[in-house]
Amino acid sequence: MDIITAEERALIDQALTEMPEERRRIPTGVSAFAVDYEWTGSRLVQVGGADLSWRGADSICLGSGSRPAASPAPRKDLEEVRLEAAVAESIKGGAAMHEICDRHGVGKVRVRRIAQEQGLKVRRGRTRSELKDAKSAELDARVEALADGTMTVAELAERLGASQTSIRRRVKRLRLTVRSYGRAAR
């Protein structure tokens, strides 16, 4: 709900005092309906004879003749058409959702809408667990390449940007050789 400022309230009060009282009141029978009606005591009747009882009022209120026809859908400008065509081409090319969003600067909802309109299906990107597995495999390969027995777990962890615990687990699982803390490097 909007808040009326003191200045706006003063202007409204001033306008109401200047307006005659008969103009301030809404006359009987006036409403927001697009058609004129009158209350017979038991139902609404349109002036001219149409029945606006509770059963017939639904059709009148919903616009079955009492309102002008809906305006046509807005036309798309050339940039929007080109963007939708580019997004559709990316979908056809097999790009994942996040790739399409990044490439074209659009959101997931819009990509889904374009895909639905074109009858296409957007390829799902890798899940978090798949990404985590890929990152883990990459770290395994890097540890395996560097663990030649000349560096300690702490040195490997610092060089690879991972925790010592993570490196220690990989060294043990992959049965790699690392230098212990007490032994000097040869």
Q: Is residue 184 part of a domain?
A: no
Q: What's the CA dihedral at 105, 107, 112, 113 to 10 degrees?
A: -90
11 and 50 belong to one structural domain: yes
110 and 134 belong to one structural domain: no
Residue 157 · residue 169 · CB < 8 Å: no
Structural domain count of the chain: 3
Looking at per-residue pLDDT, the higher value among 36 and 112 belongs to 112
Residue 160's CATH number: 1.10.10
12 and 38 belong to one structural domain: yes
- Residue 135: name the closest of 148, 147, 126 by CA: 126
103 and 137 belong to one structural domain: no
51 and 93 belong to one structural domain: no
Q: Is residue 183 part of a domain?
A: no
- Name the domain boundary from 36, 61, 86: 61
Residue 128 · residue 157 · CB < 8 Å: no
Q: Which residues contact 83 (CB under 8 A, 6 or more apart)?
A: 104, 106
103 and 143 belong to one structural domain: no
108 and 140 belong to one structural domain: no
* pLDDT on residue 35: 61
Of 25-34, 54-63, 126-135, 150-159, the one with minimum mean pLDDT is 54-63
Query: What does each C-alpha distance from 134 to 54, 166, 177 come to in angstroms?
Result: 64, 15, 24
Domain span at residue 96 reads: 78-118
11 and 56 belong to one structural domain: yes
Q: Is residue 186 part of a domain?
A: no
Q: Give the tens place of pLDDT for each residue, 107-146.
A: 999 999 999 988 998 887 777 777 788 888 899 999 999 9
Residue 123: strand, helix, or coil:
strand
Cα(10)–Cα(161) distance, integer angstroms: 66
Q: Is residue 1 part of a domain?
A: no
- Residue 141: name the closest of 175, 170, 162, 163 by CA: 170
Tokens encoding 50: 């149409």
Assessment of whether the complete model's pTM goes beyond 0.75: no
15 and 52 belong to one structural domain: yes
Checking if the pLDDT of 73 tops 70, the result is no
Q: Is residue 181 part of a domain?
A: no
Q: Which residues contact 50 (CB under 8 A, 6 or more apart)?
A: 35, 56, 60
